[in-house]
């Protein structure tokens, strides 16, 4: 008799959706009540979302970022919550969040200290993961600050230790690696069963960069603008997927118009740029972590057609093709009918001041069968109409289409 052993590839969940404190509240501007209020708002039904809640749409993770910890570990070496922010401890908060049907995520750092100088986990991976497990944490974001003076060691050596502890004590938790793409994280993070891995330095709510010396206020690295982040992440399509994990071009900055991320010299995002940002994150299968739940952004972040593209069962990050004035992303979609093919297209006007006009026929080499299966994704209560022969795009605007046609017509969206 032969003994066969099969390596069963792990199937990850679709890219995670939720809320994270960092981009809006930074280190100091939140407490336990902020998290509880976010949880309430996630499950509240909203008129702007046709009576659904953000949680109904999939935004289920409440993640506390840096500065939730006290400045020092406890006498037993364990991490402890900052008593001013969490006067009743952190467990009660997690329990309340779970009672609402939501999940809880926590931040830690694989180095000597977190990016804001709170205790790092470097000699305590097991202890800290055990603690998170006891508290009932569902998701761990692991940062990469203060990893040593030489900086010579490959990030893998730190993350291996941490992910071994996660596999042992919290095998069902999601692990979001946040080392900004150093050491090409997309090549080794899947081996560590990470849910996602950051591919760039920290996002800011600016579409274009005014100059190249945009060093962040912590002196840690270059803070890219959206254009740069999109460029980097779009080149990494081959590395993400259902059996691998997800490229993470950082959290959403939709609705962020004040606070520590803003460069006063650069314009914040326009409505068209916010919509493009959100839509491109959906096409790139990026985790969707909100910074704010402000009602003014609900129509953008609650676009159900885009969320369906994001959560599509095939889990394929879109491929990008570029022309001088446009970027075009193509994303294959699942079709429940074998005789049909489905895919989504996103056209972005790259230009900052000029409008762009595109003939829709040219997207499918004038194949009328493909064109007749084309519908446009609309925002909010805009009404749907037949796709016009030419479409016009404002500066940095995206227009998004879904194509469904008989498989025999070879409408590949490519
Ligand atoms: C790094 C991460 C951010 C955030 C901060 C917190 O910069 O990339 O997402 O977690 O640390 O200090």
pLDDT digits (tens, 9 = 90+) for 239-263: 999 999 999 999 999 999 988 888 8
Atom from ligand 1 closest to the CA of residue 250:
9
Residue 116 Cβ inside 6 Å of ligand 1? The answer reads yes
Atom from ligand 1 closest to the CA of residue 198:
8
The C-alpha atoms of residue 129 and residue 313 are separated, in whole angstroms, by 31
pLDDT of residue 149: 63
CA-based nearest residue to 67, from 198, 260, 289, 199:
260
The C-alpha atoms of residue 312 and residue 353 are separated, in whole angstroms, by 34
Asked if 379 and 300 count as a contact pair (C-beta separation under 8 A), the reply is yes
The C-alpha atoms of residue 141 and residue 115 are separated, in whole angstroms, by 13
Torsion of CA 175, 176, 182, 187, to 10 degrees: 60
2 CB neighbour count, 10 Å cutoff = 3
Residue 178 Cβ inside 6 Å of ligand 1? The answer reads yes
> Could you report the per-residue pLDDT of 43-73, keeping only the tens digit for each?
999 999 999 999 999 999 999 999 999 999 9
pLDDT of residue 141: 98
397 DSSP β-pair partners: none
18 DSSP β-pair partners: 61, 289
Asked if 286 and 239 count as a contact pair (C-beta separation under 8 A), the reply is no
DSSP line for 222-275: B---HHHHHHHHHTTGGG-BTTTBEEE-----TT--SSTT--TTS----HHHHH
The C-alpha atoms of residue 5 and residue 1 are separated, in whole angstroms, by 13
Whether the pLDDT of residue 286 is over 60: the answer is: yes
Torsion of CA 404, 406, 411, 413, to 10 degrees: 30
Candidate of 178, 196, 216, 220 to mutate for ligand 1, largest count of ligand atoms within 8 Å of Cβ: 178
Residue 248 Cβ inside 6 Å of ligand 1? The answer reads no
pLDDT of residue 150: 58
Q: How far is CA 70 from CA 22, 219, 381, in A?
A: 17, 23, 46
The residues, ordered by sequence, that sit 6+ positions from 332 with a Cβ below 8 Å of its Cβ are 314, 316, 342, 343, 413
Distance 66 CA to ligand 1 centre (A): 7
Distance 143 CA to ligand 1 centre (A): 7
pLDDT of residue 211: 53
pLDDT of residue 7: 43
> Could you report the per-residue pLDDT of 314-363, keeping only the tens digit for each?
999 999 999 999 999 999 999 999 888 899 999 999 999 999 999 888 77
54 CB neighbour count, 10 Å cutoff = 24
Distance 116 CA to ligand 1 centre (A): 8
Residue 115 Cβ inside 6 Å of ligand 1? The answer reads yes
The C-alpha atoms of residue 347 and residue 329 are separated, in whole angstroms, by 7
Whether the pLDDT of residue 217 is over 70: the answer is: no
pLDDT of residue 371: 80
Side-chain-facing half-sphere of 244: CA atoms under 13 Å: 20
User: Residues 254, 252, 192, CA angle at the centre, nearest 5°?
Assistant: 175
The C-alpha atoms of residue 4 and residue 121 are separated, in whole angstroms, by 39
CA-based nearest residue to 35, from 65, 55, 58, 15:
65
Q: pLDDT grade, residue 153 (50/70/90)?
A: confident
Is residue 143 among the annotated active site residues? yes
Helices 125-135, 155-169: axis angle to 10 degrees equals 40
Asked if 241 and 314 count as a contact pair (C-beta separation under 8 A), the reply is no
Max Cα–Cα distance, the chain, nearest Å? 72
Whether the pLDDT of residue 25 is over 90: the answer is: yes
Whether the pLDDT of residue 238 is over 60: the answer is: yes
The C-alpha atoms of residue 235 and residue 246 are separated, in whole angstroms, by 13
Weakest mean pLDDT among 5-9, 109-113, 153-157, 321-325: 5-9
Q: What are φ and ψ of residue 402, in 5° steps?
A: -120, 135
Percent of the chain with pLDDT over 90: 79
Q: If you take atom 12 of ligand 1, which residue's CA is the nearest one? A: 115
CA-based nearest residue to 199, from 188, 214, 208:
188
Q: If you take atom 1 of ligand 1, which residue's CA is the nearest one? A: 115
Distance 343 CA to ligand 1 centre (A): 34
Q: pLDDT grade, residue 1 (50/70/90)?
A: very low
Mean pLDDT, rounded, for 298-312: 97
> Could you report the per-residue pLDDT of 83-129, keeping only the tens digit for each?
999 999 999 999 999 999 999 999 999 999 999 999 999 999 999 99
> Could you report the per-residue pLDDT of 189-204, keeping only the tens digit for each?
999 999 999 999 999 9
pLDDT of residue 6: 44
Q: What is the mean pLDDT of the chain?
A: 91
Helices 226-234, 271-283: axis angle to 10 degrees equals 20
Which residue of the set 65, 66, 138, 143 is catalytic? 143
Asked if 139 and 176 count as a contact pair (C-beta separation under 8 A), the reply is yes
Asked if 18 and 60 count as a contact pair (C-beta separation under 8 A), the reply is yes
Q: pLDDT grade, residue 222 (50/70/90)?
A: low
The C-alpha atoms of residue 218 and residue 275 are separated, in whole angstroms, by 29
CA-based nearest residue to 14, from 314, 334, 303:
314
pLDDT of residue 258: 87
163 CB neighbour count, 10 Å cutoff = 23
């Amino acid at each position: 008799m032969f003994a066969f052993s099969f390596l069963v590839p792990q199937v990850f969940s679709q890219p995670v959706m939720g809320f994270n404190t960092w981009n809006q509240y930074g280190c100091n501007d939140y407490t336990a009540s902020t998290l509880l209020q976010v949880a309430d708002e996630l499950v509240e039904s909203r008129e702007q979302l046709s009576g659904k809640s953000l949680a109904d749409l999939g935004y289920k993770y409440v993640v506390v970022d840096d500065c939730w910890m006290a400045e020092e570990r406890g006498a037993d070496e364990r991490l402890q919550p900052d008593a001013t922010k969490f006067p009743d401890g952190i467990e009660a908060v997690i329990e309340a969040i779970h009672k609402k049907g939501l999940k809880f995520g926590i931040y830690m750092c694989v180095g000597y200290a977190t990016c804001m100088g709170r205790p790092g986990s470097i000699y305590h991976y097991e202890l800290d993961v055990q603690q998170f497990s006891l508290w009932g944490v569902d998701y761990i974001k692991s940062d990469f600050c203060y990893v040593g003076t030489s900086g010579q060691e490959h990030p893998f050596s730190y993350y291996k230790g941490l992910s071994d502890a996660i596999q042992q004590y919290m095998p069902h938790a999601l692990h979001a690696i946040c080392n900004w793409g150093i050491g090409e994280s997309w090549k080794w993070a899947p081996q560590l069963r990470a849910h996602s891995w950051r591919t760039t330095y920290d996002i800011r709510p600016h579409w274009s960069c005014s100059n190249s010396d945009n060093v962040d206020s912590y002196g840690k690295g270059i803070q890219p603008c959206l254009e740069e982040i999109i460029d980097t992440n779009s080149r990494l399509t081959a590395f993400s997927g259902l059996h691998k994990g997800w490229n993470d071009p950082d959290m959403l900055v939709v609705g962020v118009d004040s606070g520590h991320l803003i460069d006063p010299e650069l314009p914040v995002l326009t409505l068209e740029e916010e919509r493009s940002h959100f839509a491109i994150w959906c096409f790139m299968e990026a985790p969707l972590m909100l910074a704010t739940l402000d009602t003014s952004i609900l129509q953008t972040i609650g676009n159900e057609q885009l969320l369906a593209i994001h959560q599509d069962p095939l889990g394929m990050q879109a491929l990008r093709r570029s022309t001088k004035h446009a970027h075009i992303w193509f994303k294959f979609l699942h079709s429940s009918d074998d005789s049909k093919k489905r895919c989504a297209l996103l056209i972005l006007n790259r230009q900052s001041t000029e409008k762009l006009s595109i003939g829709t026929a040219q997207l499918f080499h004038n194949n009328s069968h493909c064109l007749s299966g084309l519908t446009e994704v609309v925002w909010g209560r805009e009404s749907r109409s037949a796709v016009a022969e030419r479409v016009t795009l404002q500066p940095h605007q995206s227009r998004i289409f879904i194509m469904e046609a008989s498989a025999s017509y070879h409408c590949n969206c490519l």
